Amino acid sequence: MIELKNIDVVFKQQNKDFYAVKDVSLNINKGEVFGIVGPSGAGKSTLVRTINLLQHPTNGKVLIEGQNITNLNRKELSKVRLNIGMIFQHFNLISGATIAGNIAFALEANHYPKSKIQKRVQELLELVHLPEKADAYPANLSGGQKQRVAIARALANDPKILLCDEATSALDLENTEEIVSLLKEIKNKLHITIVFITHEMEVAKKLFDRIAFMENGELKEVANIYDAFSNPKVPIAKNLVERVINVTLPEQICAKEDEEIYRLKYTGEKAYSPIISEVSKKFEVSVDIINAKIDYIQGNPLGILIIAIAGEKNQRTAAYEYMKEHVFEIEKLAGGER
């Protein structure tokens, strides 16, 4: 659906070349929510703006549904842009126009038949669950509602792609949830492709199908969302994922003499397997749960458990070997030598 090939974006900063985006190649599939995360300044916005050529790449190609759009003339480009809606962190609504007026504006700008505008606006307001707000002004809406209007406006001309630049970053938790679930609903209803930039990993976890990690203008890792959260590979991915799913050993707890403390990670089916009771039955050890958390990512469980295993050394070792076979990842946090 969207192909980025060897994209560079170079800015002149103090007379030197600065690579905001460096040799990024990416394929985004039709109908998926593709997310880009990374620290501020990583190049996320610059990269996403190359998709509709709001930012022209210094090198590389942008293909939309197989068509190379990198060097289109203005007229051809505006045609392509009709297929790409965009929303922003600060909504960018026209404050002097009503909600209906804001949406109608996008339709008028693209010569939508005048007689049909009112009906289309109402349809869009229903899509974003704000049918009663047509005559209100932006100032009278909550942040979440304003973003819903921005979504309606971005979808006015029935685009195939929706670009979202930090679309939930100005919102509180409740409004963020509202936008995340609306976008999921829209994706399922309209089969639209969504590209979403955020620095909020909770949003990534709930919304994305696939995720790309960016740092210093470079693409460091691309994975499906469950793999990225259960098994991040590169340092920036590990670092960002740990912020949301990590379970740590409380500071005041340290291992006793005959004890070892482990962090277990278990994925998929194994999340349900009663590993703890099996270990205590099979070996002469006692198991204490110190901390535990199960996350559900796209409906699949990812569990992290911190346990203390106490007993004779050979029994602890046997229990460790057994667990190693049965969990996705095991890491010793404290106690006994291994």
60 or 301, CB closer to ligand ADP? 60
Give the binding-site size for ligand ADP (rule: CB under 6 A).
11
Measured at the CA of 177, the angle between CA 88 and CA 249, to 5 degrees, comes to 110
Cβ at position 13, least distance to ligand ADP in Å: 6
When asked if residue 20 is in the footprint of ligand ADP (CB under 6 A), the reply is yes
Quick note: the x/- pattern for ligand ADP over 41-60, rule CB under 6 A, is xxxxxx--------------
Using an 8 Å Cβ cutoff, are 107 and 161 in contact? no
88 or 328, CB closer to ligand ADP? 88
Kind of pairing between the strands at 59-64 and 67-68: antiparallel
Cβ at position 228, least distance to ligand ADP in Å: 18
239 or 286, CB closer to ligand ADP? 239
Amino acid at 298: Q
**Cα–Cα distance for residue pair 102/115, rounded to 1 Å:** 17
Q: Which stretch binds ligand ADP (CB under 6 A): 33-41, 64-72, 298-306, 313-321?
A: 33-41
Cβ at position 232, least distance to ligand ADP in Å: 18
When asked if residue 95 is in the footprint of ligand ADP (CB under 6 A), the reply is no
Using an 8 Å Cβ cutoff, are 166 and 91 in contact? no
When asked if residue 38 is in the footprint of ligand ADP (CB under 6 A), the reply is yes
Q: Count CB neighbours of 105 within 10 A.
A: 17
**In terms of DSSP H, where are the helices of the chain?**
44-51, 74-81, 99-109, 114-127, 143-154, 173-190, 201-207, 225-230, 235-245, 275-282, 313-326
56 or 282, CB closer to ligand ADP? 56
22 or 316, CB closer to ligand ADP? 22
When asked if residue 14 is in the footprint of ligand ADP (CB under 6 A), the reply is no
44 or 133, CB closer to ligand ADP? 44
Q: % helix / strand / coil in the chain, to the nearest 5?
A: 40, 30, 30
- Residues that bind ligand ADP in the complex, under the rule CB under 6 A: 11, 13, 20, 38, 40-46
